[in-house]
A and B are shown apart, each in its own frame.
Chain A
Amino acid sequence: MNTAYNFAFFDEGSKREIRRATLKAIAIPGYQVPFASREMPIGRGWGTGGLQLTLSLIGKNDVLKVIDQGSDESVNAVNIKKLVSDTTGVATTDHTTEATLIQSRHRIPEVPLKKNQILILQVPLPEPLRYYEPSESETKKLHAEKEYSGAWLMLFEQIMKYGSMTTGADHPVLVHDRYVMAPSPIPRFDNPKMHESEALILLGAGREKKVYAVPPYTKVVSLDFEDYPFEPESFLDKHCRLCGSTGVFLDELVDEGTNETFYQCNDTSYCIETLNEVEPFGVK
């Protein structure tokens, strides 16, 4: 632990400001609360929103897990983990069940989250209406008036053009029947995990200076139409080539030499844990 810095990097004033915004965010599910968004030692757009939430929450007894698109070992995840553990001395882990704070970029872990955990999602674009309304004061007005026809129209246009909703990630959701919210660019596969989640979910956008939240046991519905229902990505008949798991989010990989397509778990720690469970029987 580097004692040249404050505990959890921030001065107490910065923490207080983020903490006040976070409490308001929890009280108004799905509403984007503006906050000051401090300069961080990593670039804006590299997870500063999530990092600021993590630093404002973390205490000596926490166990931290950071993932970047399902991986515990990618550069972004490793560096954020290093920064937090250098300035706090807290333990880090790859195991989802052991973590009390999970900061994540673009995935919700496969292992269901529990009551004593907080999931912190990094958000690049917190405004779900930005695609068709560039003005912040206008989108604030649309949220105030619960005027979301544009959000549905956006999906309708996709259906007209391509025959189905083409949101690969960041499919907008309606939270507590009030706010349309960007769930951060998690795959559609993860959207249902937000509904009535056991863990508190906090979302932070550092560059856009917004924090918002989905409290536990809150209604989260992905936007869709009666005749074009919301559909998560389907991995029917496919399984992970390493651990054999089915019913999880899989990455499609193509071997350019043989042109062979195979699938692998996106959540690396889940894949390793499954492999370790199976292995003793296989090796004997």
Chain B
Amino acid sequence: MIQFENVSKYYPTKQGRRYVLKEVNITLPTDVSIAILGPNGVGKSTLVRMLGGADYPNKGDIVSDKKISWPLGLQGGLQGSMSGRENCRFVARIHGYKDTKEIEQKVYEFAEIGAYFDEPVKSYSSGMRSRVAFGLTMAFDFDFDVLLIDELGAVGDANFRKKSQTLLESKFETTKLIMVSHSMGELRKYCQAGIVIKNQNLEFFPNLEDAIQEYEDTYVTAK
């Protein structure tokens, strides 16, 4: 369970505070995978970042006793000046692993980017980045209860998609997803429930189809 206690998040703009979330009180289950729905700029990524501890609410608290991953996305997590391998080492170390060799090897094998693994991440294409980023969470075998995914699949090639899908499915029993994607097909494949961000609030739907319906009714105006 992830509990939102009176959570407010705003960004200061020239026109004053622009609220993304305002006094949100909600409890999200962690026994189902959840899709986050909303148009661009409504705060999906911010929500995921706050869940992952990369960003903080301006007011209130997000409390959970589950192990939640960091936000897996295009920019998230990888430091450009370090190589893929160094990034792996770093993440292993902050998670308390003393011996990082095994993890490096796992990510290396998963990412399939060959010698690039020892080049700085800033020289990677976005597809290569997401391979390493994804391999990192997977290879670690942290046994995360919840994996946060922010548009990660969007840049992968067919092979990578296939591979990550198999991996995700093999972990479904223990690891649930909280996922942002603009591809409904992808969301339907992985998620059972949904959240729609609406009026600076979160609306939870235990059934994904209801959430998609609500999202389309609220936001999709172009027919």
A binds B: no
Residue numbers of B with Cβ under 8 A of A are: none
Residue numbers of A with Cβ under 8 A of B are: none
